[in-house]
């Protein structure tokens, strides 16, 4: 195996920030006990923030970004993994404080890796990626109303930012769970896309961008919110008694102006979704459910595959809300 490999490298010197594709060797990696040949990574909103200017997330430079990847173990000093194992990694600060997936090789700590389920391919694992992994966490939070809290059955669910990576897969997963999904989007031309994923109803995001009331008409048993701000505040006020709101994003705003009334009068639960620092047991459970809840043949139709050079050109679009579906990064392309 050659010690040389291609990767995107970020650097910062004073006010000057750079991103470029470089040829590196394995000596670049200072930590980790498992070397992985990366097959695929993905483009997530957080990736775009980091590619733009570090996103206040990267602590040391030079740095390889990419918050997720799938690939094959090449070398391992861990008893948990051997050469030839197919593995997947999302979150765990990879691409932030550890070298990430925008590289043909990456070395990581073994406790961060999960063995890829045999029921899906390495490619499918990253078509899902961090966005899909987060959508599954959100869906199981909604499902907790009837399973953990022993509440009434979930029927009507709202998904905001529905054409984004997390949003579109949340629509698919929640529909697969048997729920009636209302999708919120500002992209009227994507209505057919959302309906093919399983949305029953499409509403314009402008309807939820107004100032919210402390309590409004109860419309949804559950909400998956990917945007924050006024839309999240409105979603909370429209949530039915004992409903669950899974909040996982801040694409619109990180601030939330609401009151305690939905929480103490209706018993609404605001469930924060963190897809980065969760237990290995939880990660293994989520990955074990993927094959049952994701229609990869359908999802692949709405997935754009790029190489590292193309990624550097396309990433600003996700920050402008100009990407619908998924962007897959092929490290062999």
Residues in the chain: 333
Q: What is the rounded average pLDDT of the residues 185-192?
A: 89
Q: How confident is the model at residue 137 (pLDDT cuts 50, 70, 90)?
A: very high
pLDDT for 244 beyond 80: yes
Report pLDDT for 272.
96
Mean residue pLDDT across the chain:
93
Residues 273-315: pLDDT tens digits? Answer: 999 889 999 999 999 999 999 999 988 988 999 999 999 999 9
Whose tokens are 């705003």? That residue is: 253
* DSSP state for residue 181 in the 8-state scheme: E
Average pLDDT, stretch 21-31? 93
Check residues 167 and 188 and name the one with the higher pLDDT: 167
pLDDT at 151 over 80: no
Show the tokens assigned to 206: 């402008």
Report the distance separating Cα 140 and Cα 143, nearest Å.
5
- 4-116+302-330 topology per CATH: Quinone Oxidoreductase; Chain A, domain 1 (3.90.180)
pLDDT of residue 13: 87
Domain ranges of the chain: 4-116+302-330, 132-272
Mind listing the pLDDT tens digit for each residue in 38-49? 999 999 989 999
Residues 6+ apart with CB under 8 A from 281: none
Residue 235 CB neighbour total at 10 angstroms: 29
How far is the CA of 128 from the CAs of 9, 121, 173, 196, in angstroms?
Answer: 24, 11, 11, 17
- Is the domain 132-272 a CATH 3.40.50.720 member? yes
Report the alpha-carbon distance of residue 86 to residue 260 in Å, rounded. Answer: 46
Give residue 252's pLDDT. 84
Name which of 47, 60, 52 is nearest 97 in CA terms. Answer: 60
DSSP secondary structure of 123-173: HHHHHHHHHHHHHHHHHHHHHHHHHTS--SPP-EEEESSTTSHHHHHHHHH
Contacts (Cβ under 8 Å, ≥6 apart) of 323? 43, 164, 304, 314, 317
Q: Give the C-alpha separation, 206 to 218, whole Å.
A: 19
pLDDT attached to residue 320: 87
115: CB partners within 8 A, 6+ apart: 81, 85, 86, 87, 88
Rg (CA), the chain: 20
Question: Number of C-alpha atoms within 13 angstroms, CB side, residue 311?
Answer: 33
**HSE-CB for 239 with a 13 A CA cutoff:** 37
Residue 212, SS3 per DSSP: coil
- How far apart (Å, rounded) are the C-alpha atoms in residues 160 and 204? 10
Is residue 1 very low, low, confident or very high in pLDDT (cuts 50, 70, 90)? low
Residue 103 is classified by DSSP as: B
Confidence of residue 152 (pLDDT cuts 50, 70, 90): confident
Q: What number of other Cβ atoms are within 10 A of residue 104's Cβ?
A: 20
Helix then strand then coil, % of the chain, to nearest 5 = 35, 30, 35
Cβ neighbour number for residue 75 with a 10 Å cutoff: 16
Banded model confidence at residue 143, pLDDT cuts 50, 70, 90? very high
Q: Which of 30-39, 133-142, 153-162, 273-282 has the lowest mean pLDDT?
A: 273-282
């Amino acid at each position: 195996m050659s010690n040389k490999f291609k990767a995107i490298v970020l650097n910062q010197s004073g006010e000057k920030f750079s991103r470029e594709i470089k040829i590196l060797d394995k000596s670049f990696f200072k930590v980790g006990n498992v070397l992985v040949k990366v097959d695929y990574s993905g483009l997530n909103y957080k990736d775009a923030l980091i590619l733009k200017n570090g996103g206040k997330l990267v602590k040391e430079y030079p740095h390889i970004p990419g918050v997720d990847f799938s690939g094959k173990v090449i070398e391992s000093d861990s008893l948990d993994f051997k050469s030839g194992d197919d593995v997947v990694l999302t979150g765990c600060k990879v691409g932030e404080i550890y070298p990430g997936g925008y590289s043909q090789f990456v070395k990581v700590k073994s406790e961060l890796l999960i063995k890829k389920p045999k029921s899906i391919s390495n490619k499918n694992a990253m078509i899902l990626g961090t966005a899909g992994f987060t959508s599954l966490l959100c869906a199981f939070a909604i499902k907790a109303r009837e399973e953990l809290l022993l509440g009434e059955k979930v029927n009507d669910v709202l998904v905001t930012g529905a054409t984004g990576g997390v949003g579109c897969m949340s629509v698919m997963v929640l529909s697969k769970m048997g729920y009636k999904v209302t999708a919120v989007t500002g992209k009227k031309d994507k209505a057919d896309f959302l309906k093919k994923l399983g949305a029953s109803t499409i509403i314009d995001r402008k309807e939820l961008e107004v100032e919210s009331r402390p309590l409004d008409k109860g419309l949804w048993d559950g909400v998956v919110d990917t945007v924050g701000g006024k839309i999240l505040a409105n979603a909370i006020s429209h949530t039915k008694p004992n409903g669950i709101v899974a909040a996982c994003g801040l694409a619109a705003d990180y601030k939330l102006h609401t009151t305690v009334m939905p929480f103490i009068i209706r018993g609404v639960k605001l469930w924060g979704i963190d897809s980065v620092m969760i237990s290995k047991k939880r990660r293994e459970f989520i990955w074990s459910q993927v094959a049952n809840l994701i229609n990869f043949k359908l999802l692949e139709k709405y997935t754009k595959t790029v190489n590292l050079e193309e990624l550097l050109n396309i990433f600003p679009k996700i920050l402008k809300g100009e990407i619908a579906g998924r962007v897959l990064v092929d490290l062999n392309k």
